Structure formats: structure tokens, C-alpha cells
């Protein structure tokens, strides 16, 4: 039941009324429950009769609202305010756990820096610049399949920021696709998003007008031509080209090779270092790509050229008071060679002798392809290349393996039917 109490000022004038609705007693303790209350302040200038009528109306409305459970006590209001504040705080914490695309790129790159080389992380960073233009401040969990599909399609067709530009090469599109897929999968594994939006997305296929050619291995006659051309080059570069053709080593492994890693008597070499370059760090040494060292055997002709180069290197550098720190191949002043220098030289070498598209990796690809085609087992080739397992080699050089199998089949069939 509602009751009312007038509140007066010091002059004895009524300034407001407190309306109170009792709640009875607690069934368990028997204590009087805190009543519901509200304050009614009459408008200025109203007559006493008008105020009484309005007050009775407000009392009736307030009591009805209390019975409907629409009114809270002060304690309940305080508890509700506390709960609301805690809810807002929980929402803020939850929002912080739902990063934007840009924020998660930072988290992703920082995590990868702990396990991958600086050069690989730099490549990831470069590949994530374009999607950042599209998804930047979007919440990672809000990015869906159709959005990513459109982004990949735009890369293939050349659309960027609403403008038409030159389409990217197929290999570049695949690289961007792979890095983005890796980022989303990483977010799934870290419980940041429930599902990878690229989970059902297949690797992009080349456009019909994409003229990008697959890397081609050189034939034996083409390799012989390169060797002839290399004989016209300075001894350092001749030795390097012959070593790369012979060993199939990566350019960074060549730049990181030291004389102490080569036994010039037996021809056995240990590939245990990899030189890399980034703008932030300059040229630095790390482990090979597989994170494991490997032994290779250098052929006698290449071993002789390396011996000749070592003798000349001593005269060229040490005679002038320069130090090479034991590296087989260095920059002109004796400092460790930048892998990009090797790429630039081989590219220019190809232009000088009309060998288009020549790249340090061409020699690696050529060694592997021809070795498998000539019947050398994949396990041996895989170990020489420094692949983590033979399946990687098979995946890359499946065409050469098929040729080798066909050749083996023909030899076996010929022997079988001869006996028959």
C-alpha cells in the first residue's frame, strides 16, 4: 500500500513529497523489506487542490508500477548500475579480444618472427600490405568468404582502390593468397576467429591471358653453353656459377659459404649457413631454409676452379690488406656478399649472352630436374637440395620424376621381353 510524507524546508513550506510503497517482510528472516520510494516535486504556481489531485494520481501510478515489478529499490538500483558497469567492462575486454585486421597483422608478424627468418617475415609483411588496404580497420571476425574471394579476384583482374590497374602475375597472386590463408588459419588456432574464411577457397588458377611461364630447367646443351660463357667472366663469378650449377645451392647458401666448410682435398662441403638481406638488418647470417645443415659432394672440375679462385682471392684481397672473413665469395671490398648482388649479376650475365630469364634459382632447378630425369633417386636429390623431406622434391619436380619412371619402365620392359 502506498503512503506519502511531505518534505518541508526550514521555513516550514512543503517542497516535495516522498511516496512510499511497502514490500512486506522477508519470508526467511522476517525482517521488514526496504520499501520502494519516489519523490514527487509539485510544479510551481499550482494550487493546493491541483497538487493533491496530481499527487494522488502519481501515487496510484507508482504503486501499480511497483506491483508490475517495474520499480527497484535503491539497493537494487545500485546493484543494477554495478552490473551494467561490469557488463560494459566485459564488452570492452571482449572487443579488445576481437582485433581489427591491421591489429592482427601485427600480432601475426610478431609471432612469426620467433620461428621464421627475418627475410621470410619481411615477405609476409609485404604480402599483407595489399589486403590491409581492403580490410584494414575491419574486425577480423567480420571478414567473410565473399569479401576475400572478391579481393583475390581483384588482384587477378587489376582492380585496386576502385581503379583498374595492371593485373598481378599468377605467381604473385598465389603468394598473396597463401600468406593471407596462413594468417586466417593462425587466427583460428589462436581462438581469435571460429573459422578460416578461406577454408573452402581453392588456390587461384592462372588467367587465360596470363603469359607467366613456369620455371624451365635448362637442357644439358644449354648448361654447356652457360659454362662456355662463364669461362669469359672474372674467375670469382666463373667459380660461383660453376658451383651453383654443380651443387644446386640457393643463392643465400652460396653467399654464406666459407672456405672452412669445404674440404678441397675430398670435395666434401657442408652447407650450414644462409646469407639473407633486409633493409632493417642489412646482410646477416642464419641457418639454411630447412634449419638443418647438409653435406654435398663437389665434382672434380668445379673443385679445381674453386682451388684456383681461392689462390687468386688471397692475392686480390689479403695482398691489399682486405679481409674476407673466410667467405668464399664476397663483395668487392671483402665484406659478406648480398644475395641480391648474385641475382643482379646472373640476370646481367643472361642478358650479355642472350639467355633470357636467367636467375640463380635456374641453376638449382636445372640440377634437380636433370638429376631426376637421368635416374638419380629422389631421396638423394632431395638431400642435396636441402629439402625437409623427399615429398617436397617430388611435388616440385614431379614432371622430371615422371620422365625418370617412364625411362625405368622402358628399360625394365626391354630386359623382360628380351628374355621372353
* pLDDT value at residue 254: 95
Alpha helices in 276-385 (DSSP H): 300-317, 339-352, 360-373, 378-385
Is the same domain home to 249 and 391? yes
Total Cβ atoms within 10 A of residue 393:
23
Q: Classify residue 10: in a domain, yes or no.
A: yes
Last residue of one domain, picked from the residues 93, 114, 145? 93
**190-197: long-range contacts at Cβ-Cβ below 8 A with a sequence spacing of 24 or more?**
192/97, 192/98, 192/99, 192/104, 192/140, 192/141, 193/140, 193/141, 194/141, 197/143, 197/144, 197/145, 197/147, 197/148
**348-351: long-range contacts at Cβ-Cβ below 8 A with a sequence spacing of 24 or more?**
349/229, 349/230, 349/233, 349/237, 349/241
Is the same domain home to 224 and 345? yes
Is the same domain home to 141 and 236? no
Q: Classify residue 385: in a domain, yes or no.
A: yes
Q: Classify residue 199: in a domain, yes or no.
A: no
C-alpha cell of 134? Answer: 581492403
C-alpha cell of 92? Answer: 570492452
Is the same domain home to 394 and 248? yes
Could you read off the pLDDT tens digit of each residue along the chain, which spans 420 residues?
A: 788 899 988 888 888 999 898 888 888 888 888 888 889 999 888 988 998 999 899 989 988 988 888 888 777 778 888 888 888 777 766 666 689 999 999 999 999 988 887 878 888 999 999 999 999 999 999 999 999 999 999 988 887 766 667 788 888 898 899 999 999 999 999 989 999 999 999 888 887 666 555 567 888 889 999 999 999 999 999 999 999 999 999 999 999 999 999 999 999 999 999 999 888 889 999 888 777 889 999 999 999 999 999 999 998 888 788 888 999 999 988 899 999 999 999 999 999 999 988 999 999 888 888 887 777 877 888 888 888 777 666 666 655 555 555 555 565 556 655 654
Pick from 248, 253, 238: which is nearest to 218 by CA? 248
pTM over 0.75: no
Is the same domain home to 123 and 177? yes
Per the structure, the complete domain to which residue 109 belongs is given by 101-189
Q: Classify residue 358: in a domain, yes or no.
A: yes
Q: Classify residue 126: in a domain, yes or no.
A: yes
Q: What is the CATH number of the domain that holds 231?
A: 1.10.443.10
* pLDDT value at residue 185: 94
Is the same domain home to 89 and 108? no
Count how many domains the chain has.
3
Is the same domain home to 151 and 73? no
> What is residue 153's three-state secondary structure?
helix
DSSP code of 263? -
* pLDDT value at residue 101: 94
- DSSP state letters, 164-181: E-PPPPHHHHHHHHHHHH
Is the same domain home to 266 and 327? yes
Is the same domain home to 365 and 275? yes
Q: What's the CA gap between 165 and 186, in Å, rounded?
A: 31
Q: Classify residue 398: in a domain, yes or no.
A: yes
Is the same domain home to 388 and 317? yes
Last residue of one domain, picked from the residues 73, 93, 113? 93
Last residue of one domain, picked from the residues 40, 58, 93? 93
* pLDDT value at residue 93: 65
Q: What is the CATH number of the domain that holds 141?
A: 1.10.150
Provide CB contacts within 8 A for 255, sequence distance 6+.
275, 283, 327, 329, 336, 337, 338, 339, 341, 342
Is the same domain home to 67 and 109? no
Is the same domain home to 309 and 375? yes
Q: Classify residue 414: in a domain, yes or no.
A: no
Q: Classify residue 419: in a domain, yes or no.
A: no
Amino acid at each position: 500500500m502506498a503512503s506519502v510524507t511531505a518534505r518541508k524546508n526550514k521555513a516550514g513550506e512543503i517542497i516535495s513529497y516522498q511516496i512510499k510503497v511497502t514490500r512486506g517482510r522477508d519470508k526467511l528472516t522476517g525482517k521488514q523489506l526496504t520499501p520502494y520510494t519516489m519523490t514527487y516535486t509539485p510544479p510551481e504556481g499550482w494550487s493546493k487542490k491541483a497538487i493533491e489531485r496530481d499527487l494522488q494520481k502519481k501515487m496510484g501510478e507508482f504503486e501499480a508500477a511497483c506491483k508490475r515489478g517495474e520499480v527497484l529499490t535503491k539497493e537494487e538500483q545500485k546493484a543494477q548500475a554495478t552490473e551494467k558497469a561490469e557488463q560494459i567492462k566485459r564488452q570492452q575486454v571482449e572487443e579488445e579480444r576481437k582485433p581489427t585486421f591491421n591489429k592482427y597483422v601485427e600480432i601475426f608478424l610478431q609471432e612469426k618472427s620467433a620461428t621464421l627468418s627475418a627475410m621470410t617475415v619481411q615477405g609476409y609483411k609485404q604480402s599483407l600490405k595489399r589486403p590491409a588496404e581492403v580490410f584494414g580497420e575491419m574486425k577480423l571476425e567480420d571478414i567473410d568468404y565473399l569479401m576475400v574471394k572478391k579481393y583475390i579476384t581483384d588482384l587477378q583482374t587489376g582492380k585496386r582502390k576502385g581503379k583498374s590497374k595492371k593485373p598481378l602475375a599468377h605467381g604473385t597472386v598465389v603468394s598473396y593468397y597463401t600468406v593471407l590463408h596462413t594468417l586466417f588459419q593462425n587466427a583460428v588456432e589462436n581462438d581469435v576467429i571460429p573459422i578460416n574464411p578461406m577454408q573452402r577457397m581453392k588456390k587461384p588458377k592462372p588467367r587465360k591471358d596470363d603469359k607467366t611461364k613456369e620455371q624451365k630447367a635448362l637442357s644439358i646443351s644449354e648448361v654447356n653453353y652457360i659454362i662456355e660463357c662463364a669461362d669469359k667472366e672474372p674467375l670469382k663469378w666463373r667459380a660461383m656459377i660453376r658451383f651453383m650449377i654443380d651443387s644446386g645451392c640457393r643463392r643465400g647458401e652460396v653467399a654464406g659459404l666459407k672456405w672452412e666448410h669445404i674440404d678441397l682435398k675430398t670435395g666434401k662441403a657442408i652447407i650450414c649457413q644462409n646469407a639473407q638481406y633486409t633493409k632493417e638488418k642489412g646482410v646477416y647470417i642464419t641457418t639454411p631454409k630447412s634449419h638443418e645443415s647438409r653435406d654435398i659432394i663437389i665434382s672434380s672440375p668445379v673443385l679445381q676452379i674453386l682451388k684456383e679462385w681461392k689462390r687468386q682471392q688471397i692475392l686480390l684481397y689479403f695482398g691489399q690488406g682486405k679481409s674476407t672473413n673466410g667467405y668464399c665469395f664476397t663483395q668487392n671490398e671483402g665484406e659478406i656478399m648480398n644475395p641480391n648482388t648474385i641475382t643482379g649479376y646472373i640476370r646481367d650475365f643472361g642478358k650479355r649472352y642472350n639467355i633470357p630469364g636467367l636467375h640463380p634459382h635456374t641453376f638449382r632447378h636445372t640440377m634437380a630436374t636433370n638429376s631426376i630425369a637421368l635416374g638419380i633417386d629422389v631421396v638423394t636429390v632431395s638431400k642435396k637440395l636441402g629439402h625437409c623431406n623427399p615429398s617436397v622434391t617430388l611435388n616440385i619436380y614431379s614432371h622430371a620424376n615422371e620422365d625418370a619412371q617412364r625411362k625405368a619402365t622402358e628399360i625394365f620392359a626391354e630386359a623382360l621381353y628380351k628374355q621372353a
